[in-house]
Structure 1
Amino acid sequence: MKASSRYTLDDLMLLMQVLRDPQQGCPWDVAQHWDSIVPHTLEEAHEVADAIERRAFDELPGELGDLLFQIVYYAQFGSEEGRFDFHDVVDVLTTKMIIRHPHVFPEGHLGSRRQGVAAADVDTSRVGQRWEARKADEREAREARSLLDDIPLALPALSRAGKLSSRAARAGFDWPDHRGALDKVREELAELEVEIEAGHQENMSAELGDLLFAMVNLARHLDIDPEQALRGTGKRFESRFRDVESAVQASGQAIGSTDPGTLERHWQDAKRIERE
């Protein structure tokens, strides 16, 4: 029975404590640990992104709740081991964001406010520079040995590649404009073609990876998120392929036995309909 009309964050944390209780809790939840939850966290984050992309805002509270539940899980693990609890997470986050936003909280505390300048009139380039400088200071405080130290290995490969190249670019390891990045794409494609002709599987894999990384660099120079671009391509492919399937079925054939020329014609029809 609810103590009030709506459950609160405190109720959610109590729920987690009960689920993890060795005597009264859920066997599955009791068996979980730091590493076992990570795949679920990544999955829930992708489901949030998917709901937003589909503009399924009616699903979003549930998906955001599932993602929040992952954070509560980690906070419970930390509490059980005497490392930290959820309130520490909130405190560290709030403190960090206040420090990183001196243009919003000029006196360095949550109650302070910028006066006389609307958000739209703030120099965003300077804000970005200060943000990166603050993050660099935080990395130095953690005794980071490299600019790349705190880029998570668990990120999707395209996203991680983008972060790696962006971080290196801030140190001057970059082309002056997109033309250099485009030339690098052509260079990597040519090297991949050489390895394909030679039939060296391991080298092909390495060169294909280099080509993909070069494409990510090009996307950065064009101010395009490669992860979102590829997801968009996936959605378009899915839509067109479903149209091809429908067209083949309407002709009384099975897609597996349809000749390539017919499939290509249906594919071009699907693209035309999409454009129209």
Structure 2
Amino acid sequence: MNSRSQQLKAIDRLLTIMDELREKCPWDKKQTLQSLRHLTIEETYELGDAILDNDLNEVKKELGDLLLHIIFYAKIGSETDDFDIADVAHEISEKLIHRHPHIYGDVDVKDEEEVKRNWEKLKLKEGKTSVLEGVPRSLPAMVKANRIQDKVAGVGFDWEHPEQVWEKVQEELSELNEEVKNDHQNNIEAEFGDVLFSMINYARFINVNPENALERTNKKFIKRFQFLEEAAKKEGKELSDMTLAEMDVYWNASKKIHK
């Protein structure tokens, strides 16, 4: 591993390159905070993919892409004298010190849950009017639901036992089933949302990240379906011309390979 001085030298090199690109490269010169935003989101998802695949070399590369974006934003901020990379680093350092009084102060905590509760209380003291204020509006719905539940639990608004949450899941499923029978589309959507919300809550109680779990299933399904496509192609068949029973033969074979 690199020493601290080598790490700082590497960051300094990146800062210098960013200065040069911003001055000389036509594309880099044109970029703004707004134009980079969607690219940053894309890079974040690519990092998430690499983490799910446990591809550490790819994680390293994607972290580099994200770091470049942070340096880029800071460079743009420095050009208008609003902030630079030092301000960014100092801001997060001060926040971490303030939010960890059990490390940098005289507060005692028993466990991780107490740390989270203290974190939310400190944020309210900093001027936030709601514990949900920090949940980004543009988060995907599943991630947002998970963050909402995590945050309200941080101030004690939570179930006590997993069994209670599972009972709530069963209750919501029953209500959904009733609305499906009644064929009230608007109510069906509302109840379906309640089922998802309760399942996401249950995931938290059994220590499962619902986003990661669903994406693992997505990846597994893609691999199985692509195996089915390839197997059919090798026999000169088109999926659109096959019966479901014929496709099931290949599908069951794919399940043995991609578990």
Q: Is 2:226 the counterpart of 1:242?
A: yes
TM-score for both structures, normalised by structure 2: 0.83
AA of the residue aligned to 2:122: D
Aligned to 2:171: 187
Aligned partners of 1:219, 1:245: CA distance in 2, in Å?
A: 33
Give the drift of 1:161: 0.9
The 1:94–1:195 alpha-carbon spacing in structure 2 relative to 1, beyond 3 Å, is same
Aligned to 1:139: 124
Give the drift of 1:198: 4.6
Aligned partners of 2:112, 2:203: CA distance in 1, in Å?
A: 23
CA deviations 1:161-205 (Å, max 9, x no partner) are 111012222334332222222222223333333444454444433
Aligned partners of 1:132, 1:25: CA distance in 2, in Å?
A: 47
The 1:272–1:60 alpha-carbon spacing in structure 2 relative to 1, beyond 3 Å, is closer
Give the drift of 1:248: 2.2
Aligned partners of 2:154, 2:165: CA distance in 1, in Å?
A: 15
The 1:274–1:13 alpha-carbon spacing in structure 2 relative to 1, beyond 3 Å, is closer
Segment drifting more, 95-104 vs 164-173: 95-104
Aligned to 1:148: 132
Aligned to 2:60: 61
The 1:174–1:55 alpha-carbon spacing in structure 2 relative to 1, beyond 3 Å, is closer
CA deviations 1:94-123 (Å, max 9, x no partner) are 23333444555569xxxxxxxxxxxxxxx9
Aligned partners of 1:195, 1:127: CA distance in 2, in Å?
A: 40
- Give % identity: 35
Aligned to 2:150: 166
Aligned to 2:245: 261
Give the drift of 1:219: 0.2
Aligned to 2:12: 10
Aligned partners of 1:140, 1:62: CA distance in 2, in Å?
A: 38
AA of the residue aligned to 2:17: L
AA of the residue aligned to 1:96: K
Q: Is the 8 A contact 2:227 2:254 kept in 1?
A: yes
The 1:243–1:13 alpha-carbon spacing in structure 2 relative to 1, beyond 3 Å, is same
Q: Is 2:187 the counterpart of 1:206?
A: no
AA of the residue aligned to 1:265: V
Please tell me the root mean square deviation across aligned C-alpha atoms, in Å. 3.0
Q: Is the 8 A contact 1:184 1:214 kept in 2?
A: yes
SS, match of residue 176 in structure 1:
coil
Aligned partners of 1:56, 1:50: CA distance in 2, in Å?
A: 9
Give the drift of 1:73: 2.2
Give the drift of 1:88: 0.9
Q: Is 2:30 the counterpart of 1:37?
A: no
Aligned partners of 2:157, 2:96: CA distance in 1, in Å?
A: 28
Q: Is the 8 A contact 1:103 1:127 kept in 2?
A: no
The 1:102–1:170 alpha-carbon spacing in structure 2 relative to 1, beyond 3 Å, is closer
Structure 2: tracts of 5 or more residues without a match: 1-7
CA deviations 1:254-274 (Å, max 9, x no partner) are 112111122223323322444
Aligned partners of 2:258, 2:13: CA distance in 1, in Å?
A: 48
SS, match of residue 240 in structure 1:
helix
Structure 1: tracts of 5 or more residues without a match: 1-5, 108-122
Q: Is the 8 A contact 1:101 1:131 kept in 2?
A: no
Count of paired positions: 253
Give the drift of 1:215: 1.1
Aligned partners of 1:133, 1:53: CA distance in 2, in Å?
A: 30
AA of the residue aligned to 1:137: L
Q: Is the 8 A contact 1:100 1:130 kept in 2?
A: no
Q: Is the 8 A contact 1:240 1:271 kept in 2?
A: yes
Give the drift of 1:216: 0.4
The 1:191–1:239 alpha-carbon spacing in structure 2 relative to 1, beyond 3 Å, is same
Larger relative contact order (CA 8 Å, sep ≥ 6): 2
Aligned partners of 2:93, 2:213: CA distance in 1, in Å?
A: 32
Aligned to 1:3: none
AA of the residue aligned to 1:65: G
